[in-house]
Amino acid sequence: MKEIKEEIYKLVKLLNKYSYDYYVEDNPQISDTEYDTLYKQLEKLEKEYPELIQENSPTQRVGDVVLSEFEKVTHKVPMLSLSNTFSTEDLRDFDNRIKKVVANRKIEYICELKIDGLAISINYVNGKLISAATRGDGTVGEEVTDNIKTIFSIPKVLKDNKTFEVRGEVYLPKKSFNILNEERKENNEVLFANPRNAAAGSLRQLDSKITAQRRLSAFIYSVVGDNTIESQLQALKTAEEYELPVNNNYKLCKNIDEVINYIEYWDINRKNLPYEIDGIVIKVNSYSLQEEIGYTQKSPRWATAFKFPEEELATKLLDVELSVGRTGIVTPVAQLDPIVISGSTVSKASLHNKDVIDELDIHIGDMVIVKKAGEIIPKVVRVLKELRLENSEKYIMPNRCPSCNSELVSKKDDPFIRCVNPECPEQNIRKIIHFASRDALNIEGLGDKVVATLYEQGIISHTIDLFSLEREKLIDLDRMGEKSVDNLLKAIENSKNSSLDKVIYALGILNVGKKAAKILAEKYLNLTTLMTATVDELINLPDIGLITAESVIDFLSNEINIKFINDLISIGMNPQYKVQKIEDDNIFSGKTIVLTGKLVELTRNEAKEYLEKLGAKVTGSVTTKTDLVLAGEKAGSKLAKAEQLGIQVISEEEFISMLGEKKVNG
């Protein structure tokens, strides 16, 4: 037992170190495969010896608490906001005010990156994380302890019995944000507008399992309650000493000119960071000087935040268009007088949901401010009400579906409205488009416009109708010649041979993306067995949480969906899933690989499928963890970064040659 205890202790210590290197230092020391192997070894030991599970074990961060609501927490020391500055002149005014209060004293400033996230307070007692709360209004926040414990970069146990409060910022790295939005896109969920909103939404989940899946991280910037600390620099050093996550880009500046130089550097280089920042925080370094300089009612006089300018432009809102998704969510989209933002022409912008429309007080014809949120999704951020015309019409979200005129439904505390009519034309068109899409059954020739035409002409009304299309009716349609019709019918027939995971994904089950579809395929092996699934079975599958499990059961309990699946089975679409047996010694097994550029002999999806069958992990961005980059024609920034990091790069020709050496059975 002593040896087992020592082995668990060493594994916990090593895995926590690797997590720190990965989440805090952004400098992974081992591959994902190596980490996973050690992690599974620890899981196995903990399962056999549950009495030896350590509180700071990485396995204890999965999240398992569901709350009915958040408890309110009063901060012992208020979490004040900072005043903002926007120009060099503002900074020099700030510096002059400081000098007047503490004349003839040496003033040093410490500059830190202003992370675009959610402020958090964490309490450690005798070295253990006992509570955490959001900033809230600065005086009262929300208790989110169980959610904070899911964040790998935050230690649950310190290296000694220290008691203090630390404050920092919870954020979502750019990579995690992109992965999260890609998953939401696959599941036909509304995308997050930017990493900050995603971080806030993730941290404020009542179910900590959801928080655990969101890949949040954090930086600590303050220590409260330690009277031995005399400066902000010392506070950061203390946090580092206790292996708390500290952003190491801080700098001690001797004067305001050095502060300005620091700001100018990061204004240029912030795009290279793996997380979003929206400015620089400047603080007087000395705590004794801070106390002498004092506070206003809302903020400290000894600190300020310099905010980077965002590219925001004004334009006219011409109309609001409503889009109905395949799951029934009705999304409002602003139709704009076109403008160019960040090098691209923008004529539409997100209005997200009815709550956003009410908050902005949208009127048709308003002059609105538009920006690219996180340089990704254009959105309307405010209305220039002073320019509003007297006869302008306030926009009211409709209570009937724009596609089928059915009454729209909204749930309590849900900002989204939905059409629940299973015969809604727009929903059915979207479902058919999804069914035929590249990541689903990949029916070539059945694009969005063709599907819409077939539906509007009354040739199809449900997805299953695709398999009874008549050649003569198709040839009569505009732009559908004999060859294209024959090719389409052949593609539809060939789709019956799709793998089970593709078929499950094509069903369009809410919250079931490509990854979840593959997990379901591996578990149930065919559609017939899938229809017998239970919640208890589903929640015990890897990466299938309660929300996804309930979505699957809801789908399989619906009579229309049951008929659809049975119809698919009756036409011969009930593939048996073949579990791939991979020999661990093939040249791609366990490797992290990035695809970039245009491939000629293979599609990107084909190359990805080959690699995944061989045990490789295909990711979207080049990092120090990348083992190999497959570069096709016109490869751009990813190729340049790979060369900069010294990562092996192969051509498509080399890749095809290497595939000849693969060792895959089954």
Q: Which residues are annotated as a binding site for Zn(2+)?
A: 401, 404, 419, 424
> Roughly what angle, to the nearest 10 degrees, separates helices 195-203 and 174-186?
80
For β-strands 329-341 and 312-324, DSSP reports them as antiparallel
Pairwise CA distance, residues 503 & 574, whole Å: 8
DSSP letter (8 states) at residue 143: B
How far, CA to CA in Å, does 513 sit from each of 267, 400, 402, 440, 506? 37, 29, 27, 10, 9
Binding-site residues sit at 32-36, 81-82, 112, 135, 169, 283, 307, 401, 404, 419, 424
The Cβ of residue 494 has, within 10 Å, a number of other Cβ atoms equal to 13
Gyration radius of the chain's alpha carbons = 28
Pairwise CA distance, residues 629 & 650, whole Å: 6
Closest CA to 146 of 157, 156, 138: 156
Give the H/E segment covering residue 665. Answer: strand 664-665
Binding-site residues for NAD(+) sit at 32-36, 81-82, 112, 135, 169, 283, 307
Q: If 0-12 CB within 10 Å is exposed, 13-18 middle and 19+ buried, where does residue 44 land?
A: exposed
Closest CA to 176 of 62, 276, 268, 248: 276
* Three-state DSSP string of 538-596: HHCCCCCCHHHHHHHHHHHHCHHHHHHHHHHHHCCCCCCCCCCEECCCCCCCCCEEEEE
CB neighbour list of residue 46: distance below 8 Å, 6 or more residues apart: 8, 52, 53, 57, 59
Q: Which residue has the tokens 């303050």?
A: 222
Give the H/E segment covering residue 358. Answer: helix 354-360
Q: What's CA 69's distance to the chain center, in Å?
A: 23
Pairwise CA distance, residues 341 & 372, whole Å: 7
- Are the CB atoms for 384 and 368 separated by under 8 Å? yes
Angle at 352 between CA 196 and CA 382, to 5 degrees: 75
Q: Which residue has the tokens 């995971």?
A: 501
Pairwise CA distance, residues 11 & 5, whole Å: 10
What sign does the CA torsion over 333, 335, 340, 343 have?
positive
First to last CA, the chain: 41
How far, CA to CA in Å, does 103 sit from each of 41, 92, 96, 289, 383? 61, 15, 10, 11, 44
The Cβ of residue 429 has, within 10 Å, a number of other Cβ atoms equal to 20
> Roughly what angle, to the nearest 10 degrees, separates helices 2-23 and 32-48?
150
Residue-wise DSSP of 404-472: T-PBPEE-TT---EE---TT-HHHHHHHHHHHHSTTTT--TT--HHHHHHHHHTTS-SSGGGGGG--HH
Task: Exactly one of 13, 106, 114, 502 is catalytic; name it.
Answer: 114
Closest CA to 415 of 189, 220, 247, 238: 189
Concerning whether 114 is annotated as a catalytic residue, the answer is: yes
Dihedral Cα 552, 555, 558, 563, nearest 10 deg = -110
Phi first, then psi, for residue 111 (nearest 5°) are -110, 135
Q: Catalytic site residues?
A: 114
